[in-house]
Structure 1
């Protein structure tokens, strides 16, 4: 299947990859998780990444975020080539220019919501921009819960705290890995609406890996991976258009049964 090159529709690329290759192992056991990916992500854009298990979607996010090294190619975030950085440079980049939201909320149980939100800045010994903090807290809709600890918050509220924490340092891009995987449908809707709001109103760039076509429908565009290559894109997606694309991708692979079954599972809401 031919790879595709995907370019941003925003004001410009805030994160880019060119010729991105990631190989795990060596010799006969080598696995080519990414096979020459070219992609741009723009400010003011929420991008969802989808594909069957083993397609390379999490590997792409981890390489773009400097959480994994690349075998070949370039990755540029906020004007810096992270593929050539040492560990110290990567640590600084992740601290200053990247935000992360994971399936597990990763909140500190002994801290309040407000303290969890400002934790990255406190660790970096950077002052909190109170005007921006207030803007993020208003956007996340938890102004009356800031003094509560995680155990006193619902799952959706905890994930919104995690989203606010990712945004409070004004990162170049936020990477979200299955951010609604542990949430019910109502809480998922709250978190996804906030992520979309952070893009539309706050001008954030968000890249989200998901298996859920409903979650993907909140994005401006959805990128599809198969066998380590970008193989499709849906702009202004709906749940139905995402499912159609998944089935089409499945039908184009040698063993169509596995991805088609995966798409059928998504119809039933299973992950």
Structure 2
């Protein structure tokens, strides 16, 4: 597998069907003049379809900013971003909201479940709001994948933290988005519950063909991914395929050492 897909200079995906999202020369700046801070400094990266990608880097490296820009949750100062064949830089708010609703799923540290709804009602809520009927067969596969079959009628306060996050994962998967973004999705879970959720994310890629991008600081969590891209000081500085927790930890220690010597 190649490390990157060649980026065309024109809009659209240029026929590269293997790319779920792409950033090209992205800059994200806060402030101006001498106080300007570059959160992203000329970042170009492809997100491959059907691949579990982790984004890592030291605190303040720009990893969450990159995810937010790729997902259309934040704007860029310059550069271009595509989700599938659609360039989202410059899209009007209404079109961008529709694209996120129809093509993107989100999983965050906070489970964001409605306490008055059952697990299954929370899972189907985004589709209910959009006026779309859930695909029953797909929904059953998702529920089976995340292991919630016997807990669907329970409300969030009747579920453990790990089970609540599994509901959040199922909610993201249920609408069959082109890509799912997770921002530290196991950050509020203990190691056992975190491993369960990561296992479900891994299976959703292997068994359901899902595309996932996850920001994490945890080498163990990152080892569930197929590919890791590393940021430092707002720049893409390295990439790792078929990671292990030990290899990731060694790479992150390298960032710490660079920080002490710079």
TMscore range, shorter length: over 0.9
Structure 1 residues 239 and 257: alpha-carbon distance in aligned structure 2, compared to 1, 3 A threshold: farther
| Paired residues of 1:6 and 1:40 also in contact (CA < 8 A) | no
Unaligned stretches of 5+ in structure 1?
A: 259-271
- TM-score, with structure 2 as normaliser: 0.93
- TM-score, with structure 1 as normaliser: 0.89
In the TM superposition, what are the counterparts of 1:25-104 in structure 2 within 5 Å?
Answer: 25-104=31-110
**1:84 match: secondary structure:** coil
Deviation at 1:220, TM superposition (A): 0.5
Deviation at 1:248, TM superposition (A): 2.2
| Paired residues of 1:49 and 1:223 also in contact (CA < 8 A) | yes
Q: Within 1, Cα distance between the matches of 2:3 and 2:237?
A: 10
For the pair 1:256 / 2:253, whether they are aligned, the reply is: no
For the pair 1:148 / 2:154, whether they are aligned, the reply is: yes
Aligned equivalent of 1:7, options 4, 7, 11: 4
| Paired residues of 2:58 and 2:255 also in contact (CA < 8 A) | no
The CA RMSD over aligned residues, in Å, is 1.6
For the pair 1:236 / 2:233, whether they are aligned, the reply is: no
| Paired residues of 1:6 and 1:38 also in contact (CA < 8 A) | no
| Paired residues of 2:19 and 2:47 also in contact (CA < 8 A) | yes
Aligned equivalent of 1:123, options 116, 122, 129: 129
Deviation at 1:128, TM superposition (A): 1.1
Deviation at 1:11, TM superposition (A): 6.7
Structure 1 runs (4+) deviating above 6 angstroms are none
Aligned equivalent of 1:198, options 204, 209, 212: 204
Give the paired residue count: 251
Unaligned stretches of 5+ in structure 2?
A: 6-15
Partner of 2:23: 17
Deviation at 1:185, TM superposition (A): 0.7
For the pair 1:165 / 2:171, whether they are aligned, the reply is: yes
Which stretch of the first structure deviates more once superposed, 145-154 or 10-19?
10-19
Instruction: Map Cα deviations across residues 139-176 of structure 1 (whole Å, 9 max, x no partner).
Output: 11101100000000111110010001001111110000
For the pair 1:226 / 2:232, whether they are aligned, the reply is: yes
Which stretch of the first structure deviates more once superposed, 208-217 or 11-20?
11-20
**1:83 match: secondary structure:** coil
| Paired residues of 1:7 and 1:40 also in contact (CA < 8 A) | yes
